[in-house]
Structure 1
Amino acid sequence: MAVVSVSQRAEAKGEVSDIASHPDAQLFQLEATMKLATDRMKKIERAQRRLGKKAEKTCGPRPLHPTDWKAPAMPDGLWEMHQSALKAATFGDVTGGKAWQPAPVAEWQARIDDERCAIQAVWDDYSRKRTQAYSAVSYDDKEAEFQRACDEEWGIGMQILAVEAYTLEGVMVKIRAGDRLGLENLAENDAYVSIAADIRRIAGEQKPVSPPPSADLAQLDVPRDELLRAYSEWLHYERQMLMRDIYPDQNMHEMMRYVPASTRSSLFHFPLHNDPRGTWETIPSPATRALDVMTLAGVDLKGALENGGW
């Protein structure tokens, strides 16, 4: 989801100094640091791709891989001879190394074995040349550098998820970090837990964590459509958490088939056993929760909600 961040809007207006006093200034700073790490990682990746192409050119055409080679079918006449001999052979003949096959069958099998060995020999020679070519361009050294860059990006992303967000803009920083790291493909996704906790706290379900004294959430200039998109994105993450709760043994792609996007809205809100908020059917609907979120951020959507405006 593309949402213009507070930092981007402030820079466009020449109000960079205001970012430092924003409740989620730490998240904006970490996001900027993560972007630098991501850019560095992509730069190394592009360089690696060029090195790989350079190395491949020196190896010549890639030969057939031994696992892709398929032995031809035995001719019908030889197959009948083979089957007749097999029926007449004893277990000791077959396992003891005795020449029980008819000569024409054995000769055909020997030719097939020679062809298999030739395919393997060509591949082994190509593999040696390829290893030498990659070593000549120091590919492995660059690969280690790329891995360090990946680890750096991952570490910053984990720092972002560990920081509490005070505003929806801060939540969006976390969402973008999760997308950048591809966390939606992981069965155990801390991003879902972290983001849901932030939104619930902002909406007033938990005791709010006091932001810096200079911050005033009611004065945030956040466009209505951005707030709606942010809330919609939160519902997406809540849906992922719901699926994990209902189908703990399934991977995320499997669960997507079981809980469609049109699932009843009340199912997004995870009541626990003896939950004081109520049951699956009685806890606040997304519309009620959205009103809490938007009101906290300084936007009154009550009229729009009552008139079915979104």
Structure 2
Amino acid sequence: MPNALVRAAAEGLPSINRRQMLHKLAASSAAATLAMVPAAPAAEHPDADLLRLDQEMLEAETRVELADKVCGLVGREADKLLDRLPPRPAEWKEPSMPDNIRDVLGSVLVRDLPYPERHPAALRDWHRSCEQQRAASRALLEAHQDKVDHIYREAGIDAAEDAYCARAAEVFRVCERILQTPANTAAGILVKLRAAEEINADALTSIVADIRRLAGEAV
């Protein structure tokens, strides 16, 4: 009979070997039983939402850094093209008033100073000449700036800056969601602090509300 043979074989073994065999059989049985029982799901972190948002913030920050590098690359390429342009015209500065015109100005009555049409012709002509020089200088500066803007547009700086602004807006939106999400642990509060630092926001009100809620106070 098989069972009798097993017992007989077991009885013929030294006691230490019999204990080892029984231990192995028990362990195998327990392992088989555990394998049949489904594992209990791990408890979710109390601030799981904030931790997920923290990861979103890190990913959004990475995209901002990449967009910033693209802007820098495009800008450097555009700067090489700018070297081909003539130097930027100097800013216009109003010349010193000649002595004879200063004498004319001194002859103007105080009550007439706010009214240029009442000034002597020589004074009006001098002011008109200055205004014409200012306008001519402004036109030169604007023409030069138009050429600079054209070079940057051709290099793709507008598209690069638009992409950067879009990525930065993503970071801001994620940070706002973080600050609007209640924290339940110190880890969650740290996420809020990082978000506040990222967008230079005041997280104190939000975090104080978290602390009061955790302390059992009415918020």
Alignment TM-score, normalising by the size of structure 1: 0.49
Change (3 A) 1:118 1:56: farther
1:143 aligns with 2:165: no
Pair 95,54 (structure 1): closer, same or farther in 2 beyond 3 Å: same
| Cα distance in 2, alignment partners of residues 73 and 143 from structure 1 | 43
Q: CA deviation at 1:151?
A: 1.8
Aligned to 2:211: 199
CA contact (8 A) 1:55 1:133 kept: yes
Shift of 1:101: 2.0
> By how many angstroms is 1:36 displaced?
0.9
RMSD (Å), alpha carbons: 3.2
Pick from 36, 50, 60: which aligns with 1:37?
60
Q: Who wins on radius of gyration, i.e. which is larger? A: 2
- 1:54-93 alignment, distance < 5 Å: 54-59=77-82, 60=85, 61-65=87-91, 69-84=92-107, 86-87=108-109
Can you give the 5+ residue segments of structure 2 that lack an aligned partner in the other structure?
1-41
**Structure 1 residue 161, shift from structure 2 partner:** 1.8
State the alpha-carbon separation in 1 of the partners of residues 141 and 79 from structure 2. 14
1:100 aligned residue: 120
Alpha carbons of structure 1 residues 205 and 110: separation in structure 2 relative to 1, 3 Å = closer
Aligned residue for 1:271?
Answer: none
Structure 2 counterpart SS, 1:30: helix
Task: Work out whether 1:153 is the aligned partner of 2:171.
Answer: yes
1:175 paired to 2:200: no
8 Å CA contact 2:189, 2:207 repeated in 1: yes
Higher helix share: 2
Contact 1:171 1:199 in 2 (8 A): no
Normalised TM-score (structure 2) = 0.66
Q: Residues 1-310 of structure 1: matches in 2 within 5 Å?
A: 21-59=44-82, 60=85, 61-65=87-91, 69-84=92-107, 86-87=108-109, 94-95=116-117, 100-102=120-122, 108-109=126-127, 111-184=129-202, 191-206=203-218
> Could you tell me how far 1:40 is from its partner in structure 2?
0.7
The 2-side partners of 1:101 and 1:80 are apart by: 13
Deviation at 1:52, TM superposition (A): 2.9
Does the aligned pair in 1 maintain the 2:116–2:124 contact within 8 Å?
Answer: no
Partners of 1:154 and 1:197 in 2: CA distance: 21
Whether the aligned pair in 1 keeps the contact of 2:175 and 2:199 (CA below 8 Å) is yes
Deviations 1:31-54 (A, max 9, x none): 011111011112212321332343
Whole-Å separation in 2 of the counterparts to 1:162 and 1:55:
41
1:177 CA drift (Å): 0.6
> Would the alpha carbon gap of residues 63 and 200 (structure 1) be closer, same or farther in structure 2, given more than 3 Å must change?
farther
How far 1:132 sits from its partner (Å)? 0.7
Instruction: Report the AA paired with residue 98 of structure 2.
Output: P
Q: How many equivalent pairs are there?
A: 175
Q: 1:126 offset after TM fit, Å?
A: 0.9
Q: Is the 8 A contact 2:71 2:160 kept in 1?
A: yes
Separation in structure 1 between the aligned mates of residue 218 and residue 120 of structure 2, nearest angstrom: 81
Q: CA deviation at 1:124?
A: 1.4
SS in structure 1 at match of 2:195: helix
Q: Is the 8 A contact 1:157 1:181 kept in 2?
A: yes
User: Closer, same or farther in 2 for the Cα pair 1:71/1:57, shift >3 Å?
Assistant: farther
State the distance in 2 between where 1:130 and 1:55 align. Answer: 9
Q: Deviations over 1:172-222 (max 9, x none)?
A: 1111111111114xxxxxx33221111112223249xxxxxxxxxxxxxxx
Judge conservation of contact 1:82–1:101 (CA < 8 Å) in 2.
no
